[in-house]
Amino acid sequence: MMQKMVSEAYTYAFPLVLMDATKTSSTNAVEFDPIKGTAPVNQLMHGEKLADASFKAIVTPNVDTVYSSAWYDLSDEPMVYVFPETDRFCNVQIFDAWTNTVSVFDKAGTYAIALSTWEGDLPEGVTRINVPTAMAWSITRTVLSGAEDLPNVRAIQKRMKLLPLSAYVRGGEYIAPKGRYAEENNYVPIEKVLSLGPKDFFDRANELMKTNPPAPADATMMEKLAVINVGPGMTFDLSILSGDVASQWREMIQTVRAKLNDEAMKFSVRLGQWSYFGAPIGDCGVEYGYRAMVALGGLGANTVDVALYMITDVDNSGERLTAEKTYVMHFESFPPVMKGGFWSVTAYGNDDFLIDNPIDRYCINDRTDFLLNEDGSLDIILSGEQPHVIANWLPVAGADYHLFMRIYTPDMDALSTWKPPIIRILG
């Protein structure tokens, strides 16, 4: 009984602890470091290129958009985000500390990202965005069409501003303070969290809950977890666990991960060989297992109205995809998107990171200079060995791998009758 409750507590708190670890790693900098992609808290960090195989901050990163992100501490005052006019897909997604999406905006304007409990007045023309937790995270995604388009993306980034409300009210002149670098905070967040023992994990969760309170809808869960001293400001009592605690803890994490995958399948929608996780992805409410699974598989997921993440790891016969074989992925027609939307197919290794390859290509998308068949259909080649013609080649590697097909601003009505691509062994 106690072991089951510890497992539930781990599932509940996992997204919060992972967000904190990601924040700590991402803000581990004296000033913005474009190579590491780090910057102090409350400062924008602009990606200067698309993610590649060296990018390890989050799993399954997209390679369609250049990221601009910021980690917030809203304890003292709101942060003002000045968002410019753009000529392309560009939006800002705001998350609370529990990985819930609290806002997505894509209209030019001035936005005050504020703790929900903050009491104060905003200047005229500033839109307030309430966040229920002191820790917050924003991801700004700006679509890129090839390396030659980078100067245009950087021009958009330069017009983005993030500054405290007090500085904005004074006229906008602001020099961000220096941060701090500590070698012990230079880690891969997901690896860090999965390595924590029970005492460290729950004590960190309890401390975080003091300034990042559970949602009102979590009251029943918090009452339940209080029995094992998991809750805001509590101190976890390791003595509730007995025997070989370290071994049991590792086994529990493995069991939880398997259970999360099973539980999440009730939110899975299948289209041919592909499937995607539907609502309430990106804002999971009390679906704690689903929330933990999404955090584990790809922190920072969009809600379905913004993007669909379709995945497959098998061919049309149901066999696992492997770099030892060559496949063709055949599109009869392209994914249906609304105006301004786009699509891509990205390959990931079994570690959920991008696959290193000799031509630095990690995805095929609607901006790729691929070659169409005479009938307008598209064949993408999936192989570890480089073909003679590389225009339609998506490099893969490893004993097995999986594919994500991202559809941004999907046309959900058209999607119901669209036939997704088929993957078959070539030859």
What pLDDT digit, counting tens, does each position of 143-169 carry? 998 878 999 999 999 999 999 999 999
User: What number is the average pLDDT over the span 307-320?
Assistant: 95
User: What is the pLDDT confidence band of residue 49, given thresholds at 50, 70 and 90?
Assistant: confident
Helix (H) or strand (E) holding 7: helix 2-26
Q: Which two tokens stand for residue 16?
A: 């919060």
Residues of the chain within CATH 2.60.120.600 domain(s) are 305-425
Cα–Cα distance for residue pair 335/341, rounded to 1 Å: 10
- pTM (predicted TM-score): 0.87
Q: Is the pLDDT of residue 57 over 80?
A: no
Q: Fold for 305-425, please state it.
A: Jelly Rolls (2.60.120)
Residue located via tokens 């013609």 = 389
CB atoms within 10 A of CB 427: 7
Q: What is the spatial order of strands in the sheet that 109-115 belongs to? A: 126-131, 109-115, 79-83, 161-164
Cα–Cα distance for residue pair 294/287, rounded to 1 Å: 11
User: What number is the average pLDDT over the span 25-45?
Assistant: 95
Specify the pLDDT at position 62.
87
Specify the pLDDT at position 173.
86
Residue located via tokens 């073909």 = 387
Q: Is the pLDDT of residue 345 over 70?
A: yes
For the domain covering 29-181, report its CATH number: 2.60.40.1610
Residue located via tokens 């007995």 = 242
Closest residue by Cα to residue 121 from 160, 78, 76, 164: 78
The region that residue 76 occupies, defined by phi over 0 for left and psi between -120 and 50 for alpha, beta otherwise, is: alpha
More confident residue, 35 or 134: 134
Specify the pLDDT at position 1.
58
Q: What is the pLDDT of the chain when averaged over all its residues? A: 94
Helix (H) or strand (E) holding 26: helix 2-26
CB 313 within 8 A of CB 349: no
CB atoms within 10 A of CB 2: 11
User: What is the pLDDT confidence band of residue 59, given thresholds at 50, 70 and 90?
Assistant: confident
Specify the pLDDT at position 117.
97
Percent of the chain with pLDDT over 70: 100
Whether a cis peptide bond, with omega within 30° of 0, leads into 421 is no
Cα–Cα distance for residue pair 244/239, rounded to 1 Å: 12
CB 228 within 8 A of CB 5: yes
The distance from CA 161 to its chain's CA centroid, rounded to whole angstroms, is 22
- At 149, is the secondary structure helix, strand, or coil? helix
Residues of the chain within CATH 2.60.40.1610 domain(s) are 29-181
> 395 φ, ψ to 5°?
-65, 140
pLDDT by residue (tens digit) across 220-278?
A: 999 999 999 999 999 998 988 888 999 999 999 999 999 998 888 899 999 999 999 99
